[in-house]
Chain A
Amino acid sequence: MTTTNLGMPTRVRLTPAPPEGALIDSPPFPQAAIRELGKDTQRANLRHATHTIRTKRQRVVAELDHWQDLRSAGEAVKNRVARHLDTWLVQLEENLTRAGSTVHWARDAEEANRIIIDLIRATGSDEVVKVKSMATQEIDLNEALEEAGIAAWETDLAELIVQLGHDRPSHILVPAIHRNRTEVRDIFLEEMGRYGTPPPEGLDDDPGRLANAARAHLRDKFLRAKVAVSGANFAVAETGSLVVVESEGNGRMCLTLPQTLISVVGIEKVVPTFADLEVFLQLLPRSSTAERMNPYTTIWTGPTPGDGPQDVHVVLVDNGRTRALADPSGRAALRCIRCSACLNICPVFEKVGGHAYGSVYPGPIGAILNPQLRGVESAVDRSLPFASTLCGACDDVCPVKIPISDILVQQRHRIVEAKKAEAGRKPHLEPVLMKGGGWLMGDARRLALMQRAANVFGLVGGRTIGRIGNWPVPGLSRWLRARNVPMPPTASFRAQFDKTRGGQR
């Protein structure tokens, strides 16, 4: 056990402490990106991992002639869900209840955490094993449990690496993507023994032996735990079934061994019918792990007498989803099935990794989801929609055809409007410049006048300097410190055209 000094009476922690501070207080993306760009090992790890998974994904997707049809089907099912979310959720609740599950509704993270803490306390247990879950990361459940005196043990291998490393996830699917196996070995040797079964002596960085060390460490926890907490990839309204898709089988251990199972499910995870899974169980593995089929798919419909958890709870969480649903220009983001294909293909993510995004949802999907779920008040959420070149690579790989680039632009607009509304209270230079630019482009005569000025500059500069080099021009030095720029020409095209052709029309 380690202790953390919080400036108050020292409290003994049950689980490894994550980095201090709340994600919402993270620095804006450009600043965080500079920090992350400086980590050479991480950059090499990210480059290797993203390029490997991209290639594999491309290969398994190319195997299916009807991939585009599958994407359209996934999009259509998810749009149907969004159109009648109220209907499906009521149906889901009825069928979950009929199957013997207990349904809880949570408006936000705080309410969800309170419900979960009460449920765990009622069992008398002071620890839980966890299935990898983005929803529980989103509500920061582990820290809420820690404060309530309940230890939450991550059992997904990568989540375990992150937890033991006092770290934060940097990817939706592979949260330790920023680590290589030597770093993993070091984390295991340093931390594992403090929180349970230690690694074997002389552990090296062989992937098989690292996996065995994790297996031995987790085995005690699986066998001991009375309560498991999971998320769900899908919740079937028609049958009241929950679905978890995973690779390792550790999720299956959590979902079958403990007495009590608590599943935290975002309300957008509902699908109308069992048959809808046919579409998503093809789309998800190929888009995420680049597999034709994932190794473990666990589907449960309430408790089964004498087999598996007997006390089954489902916490349905809103936490900003209905707000996102209310926005026609952004609601398509709710179609997301958390596959991570957009992260893996993103050239910006490849450079900076997930930690730069100050959120559990990094990459392109995070850049459109966070401002909708969390709002645009924080510095980090205001910066995220701008963390993209709008290259559109993510649009092409998204298995449910979320128009990520379009939504990025819409979210930028929303942030600009928020800035404009602050005019007079906070100084914002950009709106003034953009207004001037918009006016300039509103009339060709104004543009031509600006071009004349550029031509004079080009005429003088072209003769004396030749090109624009690393000049310390405020603002522009961001560009000029790495790039030369040619001098403006001595005549714009319109001026040349006038001369040669007398001007048409």
Chain B
Amino acid sequence: MAGPTVALFATCVNDTMFPGTPDAVRRLLERLGCTVVFPRQQTCCGQMFTNTGYFDEAVPSVRTFVEAFDTFDYVVGPSGSCVGAVRHQHPMLARHAGDAGLERAVGELTPRVYDLSEFIVDVLGTVDVGAWFPHPVTYHPTCHSLRVAKVGDRPLRLLRAVEGIELRELPDAEQCCGFGGTFSLKNPDVSIAMATDKADHVVSTGAEFVVAGDNACLLNIGGVLGRRGDRARTIHLADVLVSTREQPTTASATTAGRAR
């Protein structure tokens, strides 16, 4: 039986900086029987503008999001943060724009937008995606996946089903890594202090990889790990789940692999 057609919401950060991750999502979902399309009108969730207080500047992103995705039943993105921003902030931004048509379109679209882990567990109805990743890893539940998208323990359930994986508990796992978008530029010293804590906790597990569902957070954590020359590397959940015996994900293919 053919799986559903999925519109891949790459997110601007992945599209521009980490194309390997949306490509891993594509390969993973195709392996699970889905048809994956990439609507070309897509740009960004607008979160950077919204969260810095620039609502007017975020509205064009809301419009492009609706134009790109409104005809699809399933919109899937590898980012709890961007998916969370779409679901939680787009309705407010559409109201702010004073555009009733946009508000209605956003209201109809947002329930069909899923984080990757939600789509696999809730829509495809599986936690075992047939992955093989024989490495010690620790999982960082990113703030927005946990508290905005509210993906719960879905990523952990997916990871536990990965063959060969050794999952180690991250101390203070639910504490923010200090990225916070433009926070890291407006309050660089506090941000670095927080990122250093997170990196220390990752290192304390002795894991080879820290896994998360958001590459922006991993850019922050991996940046510190890479600068310090720590052994631990960062990897997106999608890159773990797509890995198989036949086509294993290697360290050099991961995000931090390139940050050293």
Contact = CB atoms under 8 A, between A and B. Distances in A.
A388 B54 contact: no
A243 interface: no
Contacts of A447: 12, 15-16, 43-44
Contacts of B174: 393
A437 B48 contact: yes
B43 A393 contact: no
Contact of A437 (B37, B57, B195): B57
Nearest to B71: A505
A352 B190 contact: yes
Contacts of B190: 30, 33, 37, 348, 351-352, 387
B38 A494 contact: yes
Interface stretch (A140-148, A274-282, A481-489): A481-489
A125 B59 CA distance: 61
B155 interface: no
Nearest 3 Cβ contacts at the A-B interface: A483-B223, A389-B180, A438-B57
A368 interface: no
Interface in B134-154: 143-144, 146-148
Contacts of B56: 438
Interface stretch (B119-127, B159-167, B252-260): B252-260
B258 A492 contact: no
A467 B144 CA distance: 28
Given A347-B175, A484-B226, A497-B38, A388 B49 contact: no
Contact of A33 (B60, B179, B189, B256): B189
A503 B40 contact: yes
Contacts of B148: 392
A444 interface: yes
Contact of B37 (A393, A440, A505): A505
Nearest to A467: B259
B54 A391 contact: no
Given A348-B190, A390-B51, A392-B143, 17 more contacts: A37-B190, A352-B190, A386-B182, A389-B181, A412-B52, A413-B54, A416-B53, A416-B54, A438-B59, A438-B60, A442-B60, A442-B61, A444-B40, A484-B226, A493-B23, A496-B19, A497-B26
B74 interface: no
B195 A391 contact: no
Contacts of A216: none
14 contacts: A347-B175, A389-B181, A389-B191, A392-B143, A412-B53, A414-B53, A438-B54, A438-B59, A441-B60, A466-B260, A483-B192, A483-B226, A496-B19, A505-B40
Contacts of A342: none
Contacts of A497: 22-23, 26, 38
A442 B63 contact: yes
Contacts, number: 224
A505 B23 CA distance: 17
Interface in B30-65: 37-44, 46, 48-61, 63-64
Given A347-B178, A434-B54, A442-B43, A485 B187 contact: no
Interface string A426-440: 000011001101111
Contacts of A393: 143, 147, 174-176
Contacts of A491: 19
Interface string B241-260: 00000000000000110111
B170 to A, nearest CB: 14
B117 interface: no
Contacts of A488: 16-17
B187 A30 contact: yes
A425 interface: no
B224 interface: yes
A49 interface: no
Contacts of B146: 392
A277 to B, nearest CB: 30
B259 A389 contact: no
A352 B178 CA distance: 13
Contact of B184 (A417, A434, A479): A479
B220 interface: yes
Given A442-B60, A442-B63, A409 B12 contact: no
A451 B15 contact: yes
A396 B174 CA distance: 12
B39 A391 contact: no
A44 to B, nearest CB: 13
B188 A409 contact: no
Contact of B186 (A30, A395, A451, A496): A30
Nearest to B221: A483
Contacts of B256: 486
Interface in A432-461: 434-435, 437-444, 447, 450-451, 454
Contacts of A19: none
A95 B54 CA distance: 47
Contact of B144 (A392, A417, A438, A494): A392
A234 B54 CA distance: 38
A486 B259 contact: yes
Contacts of B57: 434-435, 437-438
A504 interface: yes
B194 interface: yes
A386 B190 CA distance: 12
B147 A434 contact: no
A493 B176 contact: no
A369 interface: no
B219 interface: yes
Nearest to A408: B51
A501 interface: yes
A29 interface: yes
A440 B64 CA distance: 11
B10 interface: yes
Contacts of A202: none
Contacts of B10: 493-494
A104 interface: no
A26 to B, nearest CB: 15
Scoring B17, B58, B89, B196 by chain A CB atoms within 10 A of each residue's CB, the highest score goes to: B17
A176 interface: no
Given A467-B226, A482-B195, A497-B38, A391 B176 contact: yes
Contacts of A395: 147
B26 to A, nearest CB: 8
A435 B60 CA distance: 11
A386 B187 contact: yes
Contacts of A472: none
B110 interface: no
B79 interface: no
A433 to B, nearest CB: 10
A441 B43 contact: yes
A424 interface: no
